[in-house]
Amino acid sequence: MKKCIIWLRKDLRLHDHPGFAQAIEQGYEIIPIYIWDKSEHRWQEGAASQWWLHHALIDLQEQLSALGGKVFIHSIEKGDTVSDFLVKLIKQYEADAVYWGRRYEPEIVKRDQSIKAALKEDGYEVCSFNTHLLFEPHTVENKSGSHFKVFTPFWKNCLTKKVGGLIEVSKDQWASAKWCNAPASSTVEELGLLPDIPWDKEFNELWKPQRNNGMERLAEMVTSKYKTYNDQRDIPSIDGTSQLSPYLQWGQISAREVYHAFSNSYTDTAEKGFLRQLFWREFSYHLMFNEPHTPDKALRTEYEQFPWEKNEAFLTAWKKGQTGFPVVDAGMRQLWQTGWMHNRVRMIVGSLLVKHMLQDWREGASWFWDTLVDADLANNTMGWQWIGGCGADASPYFRIFNPIIQGEKFDPDGTYVRKYCPELKDLPNAYLHKPWEMPELELAAAGVTLGKSYPVPVISHAAGREKALAAYAQFKGSIS
């Protein structure tokens, strides 16, 4: 019987998976594999993403076990390459075909093209599929046949296209699937994805990284939550967003599943507000694929001359949630404790870093990459370039968020700040987002001593704004 390797990557699911569907249809003996590259390489998943991956792999293993199959886990040590290792596995399993879901990171695109060409030359059947997006990045073009650099025209163009249907496999087909009975492989635990120091306590309390839980969140969004989405999505103290991003990032749920969950009433304005975020994700991949320099350099390349000021003290205070701006510190502490941060707060903390502090947007992108459970190279890159004024649809650099006003506007009763900055819990709302303005005796009565129990701002808003505008003027002068 012929054998087919299903090389799993960012598509850790059985449903709406064209690779599994085609392998079953062809009558192959199926060998699902996951390869963890432990060698030092660029864009290896950060610690928080590895935590999620550990649990997602266990969840997939359990789903396959119920069908009589298993995921064969392998890891690559330093000195080997994915290309060479995959060839070894093909020979070890005596496979005739290899299927995988396409990825769009620039270096991986080149590597996968090379692997596919070499395997085909050696006589193997090789198929790659779109398992991650609604539309392949190269299939969305503007009127001149080029790619989009502005979201709204991209979004309108996508609305004219038909999203592919879900790939269905019946219960009878799953029951008849043939699974490889190969030698034992590594266990998920042996990959060492979980932290040695238990910083993940609150991760376990907040997240359930299983597909079923993601589908429950999606069902909640479809039946009720979308109705309040537009009104509540900017309030960090409210569970007003879907929090589907990590499930999408690891492909436990497909983008098509999310889209089609809403397809019956797509014209609803509130619903479209949520689906717009799904297409924003599509746009980020569209840009990364067509502008492959963007994970490392600004889309607007002139910004490579921007006068960033490296300051380790600023960067450390920001990472630790010790900037002295309560809404920023609450966001950075939420990130560290839970592996996630509310999207509105992501913009606020990012603005403080790249504008008030004049730190390079890549410093923020790197920290988010390591600490977010939903760290996604395309989304992360686009988000930080938007904040830095150097990407597509970017917020102009001279637009500088006031962290005090942002806190008062989106956390008016202080619920969010008090949760993650408990040392400020007894401050009245009038001073919660600007404790330095509160009389010293009243601060002391509330148990706060600035500079000791809570930091003074690393830089005042006025000084930070002035500094950012001066840097921008210097930059504009250098490129004019």
pLDDT recorded at residue 66: 96
pLDDT recorded at residue 449: 96
pLDDT recorded at residue 388: 93
Architecture of domain 1-132 in this structure: 3-Layer(aba) Sandwich (3.40)
Q: How far apart are CA 72 and CA 75, in angstroms?
A: 10
Domain with CATH 3.40.50.620 in the chain: 1-132
Domain with CATH 1.25.40.80 in the chain: 133-164+211-290
Give the residue from 174, 125, 130, 164 showing the smallest Cα distance to 17.
130
pLDDT recorded at residue 184: 72
pLDDT recorded at residue 121: 94
pLDDT tens for the chain, 480 residues long, are 899 999 999 999 999 999 999 999 999 999 999 999 876 567 789 999 999 999 999 999 999 999 999 999 999 877 788 888 999 999 999 999 999 999 999 999 999 999 999 999 999 999 999 999 999 999 999 999 999 999 999 999 998 999 999 999 999 999 999 999 877 789 999 999 999 998 998 999 999 999 999 999 999 998 888 888 888 899 999 998 999 999 999 999 999 999 999 876 555 554 567 888 999 999 999 999 999 999 999 999 999 999 999 999 999 999 999 999 999 999 999 999 999 999 999 999 999 999 999 999 999 999 999 999 999 999 999 999 999 999 988 778 889 999 999 999 999 999 999 999 999 999 999 999 999 999 999 999 999 999 999 999 999 999 999 999 999 999 999 987
pLDDT recorded at residue 269: 52
Residue 80 sits at φ, ψ, to 5 deg, of -100, 170
3-state class (DSSP) for residue 158: helix
Q: Write the DSSP string, 244-312.
A: -HHHHHTTSS-HHHHHHHTGGGTT-HHHHHHHHHHHHHHHHHHHHHHSTTTTTS-SSGGGGG------H
Pick one of 1.20.1250.20, 3.40.50.620, 3.40.630.10, 1.10.579.10 as the CATH number of 301-479. 1.10.579.10
Domain with CATH 1.10.579.10 in the chain: 301-479
- List, in sequence order, the alpha helices (H) in 388-460: 403-410, 415-420, 429-432, 440-445
456: left (phi over 0), alpha (psi -120 to 50) or beta: beta
Please name the fold of domain 133-164+211-290: 1.25.40
pLDDT recorded at residue 287: 96
Angle subtended at Cα 342 by Cα 335 and Cα 270, rounded to the nearest 5 degrees: 160
pLDDT recorded at residue 393: 80
Tokens of 63: 């789903």
Find the largest Cα–Cα distance for the chain.
81
Tell the residue number behind the tokens 């399993």, with chain if given.
93
Neighbours of 201 (CB within 10 A): 9
Side-chain-side CA neighbours of residue 172 (13 Å): 0
Return the amino acid letter for 66. Answer: A
Neighbours of 316 (CB within 10 A): 11
pLDDT recorded at residue 267: 53
pLDDT recorded at residue 265: 53
- List, in sequence order, the alpha helices (H) in 122-167: 151-159
Q: How far apart are CA 358 and CA 27, in angstroms?
A: 58
Strands 178-179 and 125-129: unpaired
Q: Are 274 and 229 a contacting pair, CB within 8 Å?
A: yes
